[in-house]
């Protein structure tokens, strides 16, 4: 049984796998290329689905509230009138807060959100998190795997051996490019504008209208989502919580519009994300004007109150394999399959990969049974996210086409044909 594990990337998927393996007695080292020990979370919102809840119930030892329950979904028209679509709810949190909890569970890192980390238990393996350490290569050595790790400061290369390597370094994964050089990210044809603003910083009426609601507003081939989240520091008190919004908008690749939007206030051209606080002011003023013209007044007011929005390009990526070197190297999370954020399934995807991996660790399935499960799940969720995206970004005919493709995939998987 593998005991010494290398995890490439300190993503949510990497941290979940690290915690689970640590609790099974594995010695785990996570190599994260970002040099800062406190990663910027942007107060970005994420959905907490059943797979995430199952993982946390079994493996998290941090005893604190970290979620908000929102009524979902609520459709607002241009006049600001709400039309509840269903009586269901959605559980949300912030990316930074969840990462703080996972770090406390993994290696005992404390933060404002988790000032006291849980103590390690006797059966736990060792857990090490190394920042500023970029894994640049991987090689099979029969009974073990070797990776090359480059130090971000000295640029010295260290070779490290492990029994198991889990690749969790996101959609731009360095090791996936080595293992699957033909797999490329594909631009989905649109971008997401994102931002948060504290409830108390917004007009009282606007804040109350949207508090604790997973709301959406459809415009002409673009749409916006809103839901309430805690702060990255873990504040869940009304008034101090955050309005979190995501605005999806088509944008032609390599167009003048894209070049203008992704050139920041310092003249630097970005190709994935213009970070919070760096948007060119004129670009953001144009977006605010568009919001005023096309959104309900209260929702536009929330956007206008956002001081540091950011914008991201949306990509699709689907790997045909997740198991390499006879089961000693595994791809997980966004490094395996990148799911559009429209359906809020990225964190669920990470948790599903980890929960299924635990079955493999416990001897309940083989690496290749695990591979089949995670590939099928990722493909289905990717198709589903395309359906959701097309609902607000495309014509009804296109949405029907995406829906048919999704349903055919599900049928093929059920029949063992896909």
Separation CA 393–CA 410 (nearest Å)? 23
CA atoms within 13 A on the CB side of 361: 23
Per-residue pLDDT tens digits for 121-134: 999 999 999 999 99
User: Residue 261's Cα: distance from chain center in Å?
Assistant: 22
Give the start-to-end residue ranges of the domains of the chain. Answer: 4-38+96-184+317-397
* Averaged confidence pLDDT in the chain: 94
For residue 317, what is the enclosing H or E element?
strand 310-318
Quick one: pLDDT at residue 42?
Answer: 60
Across residues 344-351, what is the average pLDDT? Answer: 96
DSSP string, 251-299: --TT-HHHHHHTB-TTSPBPSSEE-TT-S-HHHHHHHHHHHHHHS-HHH
Architecture category of domain 4-38+96-184+317-397 in CATH:
3-Layer(bba) Sandwich (3.50)
**Over residues 193-216, mean pLDDT:** 94
pLDDT tens digit sequence for 272-303? 999 999 999 999 999 999 999 999 999 999 99
Least confident of 35-39, 320-324, 376-380: 35-39
Look up residue 321 and give its DSSP letter.
-
The CA–CA distances, whole Å, from 144 to 107, 174, 246, 367, 377 equal 24, 20, 44, 16, 29
């Amino acid at each position: 049984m593998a005991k010494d594990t290398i995890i490439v990337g300190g993503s949510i998927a990497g941290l979940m796998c690290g915690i689970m393996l640590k609790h099974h007695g594995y010695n785990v080292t996570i190599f994260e290329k970002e040099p800062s020990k406190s990663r910027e979370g942007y107060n970005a919102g994420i959905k907490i689905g059943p797979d995430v809840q199952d993982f946390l119930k079994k493996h998290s030892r941090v005893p604190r509230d970290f979620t908000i329950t929102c009524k979902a979904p609520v459709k607002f028209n241009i006049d600001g009138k709400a039309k509840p679509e269903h009586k269901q709810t959605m559980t949300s949190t912030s990316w930074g807060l969840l990462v703080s909890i996972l770090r406390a569970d993994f290696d005992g890192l404390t933060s404002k959100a988790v000032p006291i980390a849980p103590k390690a238990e006797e059966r736990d393996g060792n857990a090490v998190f190394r920042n500023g350490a970029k894994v640049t290569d991987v090689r099979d050595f029969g009974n073990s795997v070797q990776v090359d790790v480059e130090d971000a400061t000295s640029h010295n290369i260290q070779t490290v051996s492990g029994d198991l390597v889990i690749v969790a370094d996101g959609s731009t994964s360095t090791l996936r490019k080595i293992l699957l050089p033909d797999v490329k990210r594909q631009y989905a044809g649109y971008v997401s504008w994102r931002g948060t603003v504290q409830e108390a910083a917004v007009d009282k009426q606007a804040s109350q209208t949207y508090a604790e609601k997973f709301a959406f507003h459809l415009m002409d081939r673009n749409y916006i989502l809103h839901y309430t989240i805690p702060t990255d520091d873990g504040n869940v008190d009304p008034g101090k919580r955050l309005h979190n919004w995501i605005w999806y908008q088509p944008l032609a690749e390599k167009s003048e519009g894209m070049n203008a939007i992704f050139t920041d206030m310092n003249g630097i051209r970005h190709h994935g994300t213009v970070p919070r606080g760096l948007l060119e002011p004129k670009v953001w003023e144009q977006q605010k004007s568009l919001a005023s013209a096309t959104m309900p007044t209260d929702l536009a007011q929330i956007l206008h109150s956002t001081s540091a929005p950011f914008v991201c390009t949306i990509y699709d990526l689907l790997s045909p394999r997740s198991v390499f070197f006879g089961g000693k190297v595994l791809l997980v999370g966004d490094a395996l399959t990148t799911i559009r954020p429209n359906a809020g399934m990225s964190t669920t995807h990470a948790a599903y990969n980890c929960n299924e991996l635990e079955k493999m660790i416990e001897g309940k399935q083989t690496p290749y049974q695990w591979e089949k499960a995670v590939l099928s799940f990722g493909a289905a969720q990717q198709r589903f996210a395309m359906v959701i995206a097309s609902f607000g970004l495309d014509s009804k005919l296109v949405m029907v086409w995406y829906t048919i493709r999704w349903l055919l995939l599900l049928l093929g998987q059920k029949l063992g044909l896909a």
